[in-house]
């Protein structure tokens, strides 16, 4: 076996590099690119790119381009040409919607149309996977391998990366131990670790559910604000506690605590979305203005954990039909939907209404 990293390990390095502002090199059969996440880029590095004769464009998603009224020649994304002398402030104003209303961009923005966008698209996927704003400075690179070696940069094989990111990462149970909780003394916490170096997920097993029967299940996505702070902006805290209480009362259940904060965009981006909601946008519009889809979660991880624990059929506590179809698609039978309508208040009333109207939630 090689001692060096495989593609999943290389991707984990690339995500870490982008998060700390270090560029990475993407290498494909058709060419190569140097990539820096807009959010963490430093002025000195942008200058260093230019000093090496590189001309970056700013890759953004079609969602962000729509808000900026920039043309999309690449389908789900656009490559924005940097005007002469554009500095990092310009880059951030395109990438981050926080000042859109106060300082509307002086446009029009120019989008590139020549050449391919494969590496730009992969750059955006990497930014999302790193839980950063989906915007990247991307420059064509000649002699990429020599360049990367000289600058000590991580090199990612683009074709292998696209395949690996599309697949669902295998995960392993690392440990399980008894944790008596208020609703059920006979409770165990299982920790699952994906092999691609992404965040761990947890399974709270209440009682000792029979693996041969459908188990009462909740797929709960992490919500720091709702679960821990008792935020009134959403219904996550009451749903978490309500699900555990029902499992305790029935004597058996599985609550998966999936680390997909903010519907998969991460806590920093969720707070950016909250700040846009303070400016009057709803939960879906805020995601779009940031450049994200309504929901960036991957529920395949949920069915992988259930199967690993030995469950093939569930009674799913949810109001979200997408969760049911994702379970069915990935081989976990949903024999019953158990509604979980709790925690409505004056602050989250609008949020819940938008989820019903735009995301098909059943209330
Ligand atoms: N991006 C974004 N995420 C949010 C917002 N409010 C809550 N969330 C996140 O939304 C997710 C809610 O997860 P769930 O309760 O599991 O899912 P759901 O899709 O509402 O479906 P249910 O099973 O019916 O509750 C959590 O990850 C929260 O952090 C918001 O305004 N913007
Ligand atoms: Zn929440």
| Ion ligand 2: residues, Cβ under 5 Å | 223, 226, 234, 236
- Round to whole Å and give the CA distance between 238 and 249: 16
Domain with 119 in it: 7-164
Same domain, 341 and 252: yes
Would the CA dihedral through 146, 147, 148, 152 be positive or negative?
Answer: positive
- Assess whether 295 carries a catalytic annotation: yes
How many angstroms does the Cα of residue 239 sit away from the middle of ligand 1?
A: 11
What's residue 353's pLDDT?
86
What is the number of structural domains in the chain?
A: 2
> Is 300 among the catalytic positions?
no
199 and 232 belong to one structural domain: yes
- The mean pLDDT value for 65-81 works out to 96
- Distance from the alpha carbon of residue 34 to the mean position of ligand 1, in angstroms: 34
Give the rounded distance of the alpha carbon of 349 from its chain centre: 25
Q: Residue 327: name the closest of 309, 300, 297 by CA.
A: 300
On whether both 22 and 111 belong to a single domain, the answer is: yes
pLDDT exceeds 80 at position 106: no
Quick check: pTM over 0.90?
yes
Final residue belonging to a domain, choices 110, 141, 164: 164
Residue 356 pLDDT level (bands cut at 50, 70, 90): confident
Q: Indicate the residue among 141, 164, 187 that finishes a domain.
A: 164
Is 28 in the same domain as 132?
yes
Answer yes or no: do 158 and 86 share one domain. Answer: yes
Whether residue 359 is predicted with pLDDT greater than 90 in this model: the reply is no
Report yes or no on 202 lying in a domain. yes
Are 148 and 250 contained in the same domain? no
Ligand 1 atom nearest the C-alpha of 322 is 19
Residue 212 lies in a domain: yes
**Among 137, 164, 191, residue at a domain's last position:** 164
Same domain? 119 vs 150: yes
Q: Of the candidates 221, 228, 220, which has an alpha carbon nearest to the alpha carbon of residue 246?
A: 220
Neighbouring CB atoms inside 10 A of 338's CB total 16
Does residue 363 surpass a pLDDT of 80? no
Q: Judge contact between 296 and 265, C-beta under 8 A.
A: yes
For a pocket test of ligand 1, which of 225, 236, 293, 339 has the largest count of ligand atoms closer than 8 A to its C-beta? Answer: 236
Here the tokens at position 190 are 């299982």
In the sheet with 57-61, reading across from the earlier edge strand, the strands are: 77-81, 57-61, 135-141, 31-37, 24-28, 155-157
Contacts of 100 (CB under 8 A, 6+ apart): 67, 289
Q: Which ligand is nearest to the CA of 261?
A: 1
Beta carbons within 8 Å of 337's beta carbon, 6+ residues apart:
315, 316, 318, 324, 362
**pLDDT tens for residues 183-193?**
999 999 999 99
The structure tokens listed for 93 are 């104003």
Whether residue 292 is contained in a domain is answered as no
The residues, ordered by sequence, that sit 6+ positions from 102 with a Cβ below 8 Å of its Cβ are none
Annotated binding-site residue? 61: no
* CATH code (residue 223): 3.40.50.10990
Whether the pLDDT of residue 355 is over 90: the answer is no
ipTM exceeds 0.95: yes
Please identify which of the residues 100, 140, 294, 295 carries the catalytic annotation.
295
Q: Tens digit of pLDDT for each residue in 257-289?
A: 999 999 999 999 999 999 999 999 999 999 999
Decide if 274 is inside a domain.
no
Residues 289-346: pLDDT tens digits?
Answer: 999 999 999 999 999 999 999 999 999 999 999 999 999 999 999 999 999 988 888 8
Looking at the fold, whether 47 and 123 belong to one and the same domain comes out as yes
């Amino acid at each position: 076996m090689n001692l060096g990293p495989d593609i999943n390990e290389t991707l984990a390095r690339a995500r870490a590099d982008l998060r700390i502002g270090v560029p990475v090199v993407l290498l494909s059969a058709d060419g190569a690119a140097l990539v820096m996440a807009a959010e963490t880029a430093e002025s000195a590095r942008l200058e260093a790119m230019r000093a090496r004769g590189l001309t970056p464009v700013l890759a953004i998603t079609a969602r962000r381009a729509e808000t900026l009224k920039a043309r999309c020649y690449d389908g789900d994304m656009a490559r924005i040409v940097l005007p002469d002398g554009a500095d990092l402030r310009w880059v951030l104003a395109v990438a981050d919607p926080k000042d859109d209303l106060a300082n509307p961009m002086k446009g029009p923005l120019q989008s590139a149309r020549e050449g391919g966008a494969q590496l730009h698209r992969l750059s955006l996927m990497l930014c999302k996977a790193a839980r950063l704003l989906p915007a990247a400075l991307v420059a064509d690179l000649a002699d990429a391998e020599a360049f990367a070696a000289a600058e000590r940069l991580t090199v990612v094989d683009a074709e292998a990366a696209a395949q690996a990111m599309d697949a669902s990462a295998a995960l392993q149970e690392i440990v399980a131990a008894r944790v008596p909780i208020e609703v059920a003394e006979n409770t165990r916490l299982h920790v699952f670790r994906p092999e691609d170096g992404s965040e761990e997920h947890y399974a709270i097993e209440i009682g000792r559910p029979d693996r041969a029967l459908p188990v009462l299940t909740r797929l709960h996505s992490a919500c720091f604000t709702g679960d821990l702070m008792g935020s009134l902006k959403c219904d996550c805290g009451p749903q978490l506690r309500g699900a555990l209480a029902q499992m305790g009362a029935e004597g058996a259940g599985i609550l998966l605590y999936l680390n997909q904060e903010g519907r998969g965009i991460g806590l920093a981006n969720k707070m950016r979305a909250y700040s846009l909601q303070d400016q009057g946008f709803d939960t879906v519009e805020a995601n779009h203005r940031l450049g994200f889809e309504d929901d960036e979660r991957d529920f395949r991880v949920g069915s992988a954990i259930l199967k690993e624990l030995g469950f093939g059929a569930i009674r799913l506590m949810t109001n979200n039909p997408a969760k049911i179809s994702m379970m069915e698609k990935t081989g976990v039978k949903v024999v019953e939907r158990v509604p979980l309508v709790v925690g409505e208040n004056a602050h989250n009333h609008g949020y819940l209404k938008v989820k019903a109207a735009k995301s098909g939630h059943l209330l």
